[in-house]
A and B are shown apart, each in its own frame.
Chain A
């Protein structure tokens, strides 16, 4: 392999992927597996293809690296038609991760990761440096490099699968249910790791799953597919949850879509309530006066220390003296952080059987109060949430749009 090609293929960055009437028909069967698919995936985004089994999502994904050959139409990567490329060379520039991982059992972890660099004729030193870098990138102990795949756990194997796909820094990654065969705890960990990694490497990712929760979590944009690769809605996760385009999408997303929206938000993203803060030794009259103010939503005062860290809730009896006592009568209950996901925050509130919970920033300082009421208001106001999502491009379905207008 000429050196020029090797450098060209390790340019990094990301490329857009554009489907133009992409169609796949097997044999002479009347119904195509994928029927005139038009889809634009922006460079650096994770596009999740999700839908029931047999909807053509995997076929659509595999057309990109020509594992499935197009019958009609075209796919452009960075503006260039995949049909013009030699299939094997095209594939070396596209990361490929599958559910069964597909590590080569007879090659060590390092050798597995080095597969494509070796195909491209990288010299030994460069391959060695890159494999070490990748092991670190996916959070694997460098000592594992000399092991064989069978000596690794399922989660570790898929980390190697991701590292192997990233070996030559491809502009596009194809991931076919990459975490589908991994137990729930490790799946969540791998999902989070991949999102962290993606924030750094910013690849264009086509991610196939049948799990709408995974799609909502992983996708910058989600394409919900029905039979024959027909896209029912292509939008951001929050838009799909707030304004499903039709009944199919609504059913697919599930009746708990309101709750699912909570997993897209963090506590710090919402406007919190405030409670009067009281320091030990402060005059209770001052605190009582503050409780009367109309802009204070919480009817209890919060005891904080000198560094504004919440200590407990003050009851009427606590405030009956002249000065605020050093300890509060009522326990603090759950304490949330601004970085907590709303869904978890709600769970904590319910678990603690509290109406209110103090929210602290990363220094432990009080940032506000989250209440059940705030969450319920958030769930009832689709407009507020849509405004928070700047990336919404697809127009709302007419009936939905009028509903929202009425709410306003």
Chain B
């Protein structure tokens, strides 16, 4: 906390101080010194900069982990789609990964990958597998049989059916999986601090925060906003990629 104060230009501290005493008549102490205070605006405006780097780290962790998780889960789903008997074993396998408690996962990886970003990314990617795999499978399974039969009957090859019919029709479920995976990864990535991978967790899991929760609230709010923002981007992308779904809701026979 001191480092944050020291990093501030003196003039800035003075300005905040002036404002503080002007508006809080009767207050004798700055709010961070009063344990009962849930959220301290003055501290927040003063220290908002210290959340920049952790937020960026968090964002990177989320994006990289989801991308890697998506790539692996997508390939697994395509394999299971081609070789149906693998569907269940793969679902069970990704389910086991999903069930490992996150901190335990980091500890398990420590002897192999050590402390750092790699460890966090491996664990976070592993968590997304189950969600994305399941959704891609569901999307592929939901493609109407009649469309597949017609495609085959018109002379599309299996690969053409996959890329031109099945995958485009599975986009809503696939993007849905990525959205859920992203939101949950934003939350779990706050634990990456235990793998020494930084992120917003560094601002949350600090002993002083037990008596002064403002930093937790700020870090939490940033995480929520991040989740919402990514979700919105994905949703918009999905809308653009699936014009036929809009047509369905506007359909006037």
Chain A residues proximal to chain B, CB less than 8 Å: 65, 67, 88-93, 96, 98, 100-107, 115-116, 119, 147-153, 161, 164-165, 174
Contact = CB atoms under 8 A, between A and B. Distances in A.
B244 A96 contact: no
A149 B243 CA distance: 12
B244 A102 contact: no
Given A150-B247, A151-B253, A116 B154 contact: yes
B149 A98 contact: yes
A349 B244 CA distance: 51
B149 to A, nearest CB: 6
Contact of B155 (A92, A98, A149): A92
Given A104-B165, A106-B168, A106-B242, A150 B251 contact: yes
B192 interface: no
B172 to A, nearest CB: 10
B155 A91 contact: yes
Contacts of B152: 67, 91
B155 A104 contact: no
State the majority secondary structure of interface residues on B. Answer: helix
B137 interface: no
A105 B151 CA distance: 12
Nearest to B143: A105
A183 B253 CA distance: 15
A104 B149 contact: no
Interface residues of B, number: 27
B154 A98 contact: no
A101 B150 CA distance: 8
A346 B148 CA distance: 46
Interface in B113-135: none
Q: Which 10 A-B pairs have the closest CB atoms?
A: A102-B150, A100-B146, A92-B155, A96-B153, A91-B155, A102-B146, A148-B247, A148-B244, A150-B248, A88-B155
Contacts of A90: 155
Interface of B: 144-157, 160, 165, 168-169, 242-244, 247-248, 250-253
A327 to B, nearest CB: 50
Given A147-B247, A153-B253, A119 B160 contact: yes
A91 to B, nearest CB: 4
Contact of A151 (B145, B149, B151, B251): B251
B244 A150 contact: yes
A98 B150 CA distance: 7
A89 B155 contact: yes
Contact of A96 (B150, B168, B253): B150
Contacts of A119: 154-156, 160
A150 B144 CA distance: 13
A147 B252 CA distance: 11
A98 B146 contact: yes
A106 B150 contact: no
Nearest to B164: A104
Contacts of A151: 247-248, 250-253
A164 B154 contact: yes
21 contacts: A65-B153, A88-B156, A88-B157, A89-B155, A91-B152, A91-B155, A93-B155, A96-B150, A101-B150, A102-B150, A104-B147, A104-B151, A104-B165, A105-B169, A106-B168, A107-B244, A116-B155, A148-B247, A149-B244, A151-B250, A165-B154
Contacts of B252: 151
Nearest to B252: A151
A87 B148 CA distance: 16
Contacts of B157: 88
B147 A102 contact: yes
Nearest to B158: A88
A102 B144 contact: yes
B182 to A, nearest CB: 24
Contacts of A102: 144, 146-151, 153
B62 to A, nearest CB: 29
Given A150-B244, A150-B251, A105 B153 contact: no
A161 B146 CA distance: 12
Given A119-B160, A151-B251, A106 B244 contact: yes
Contact of B154 (A91, A107, A149): A91
A82 B85 CA distance: 31
Contacts of B153: 65, 67, 91, 96, 98, 102, 174
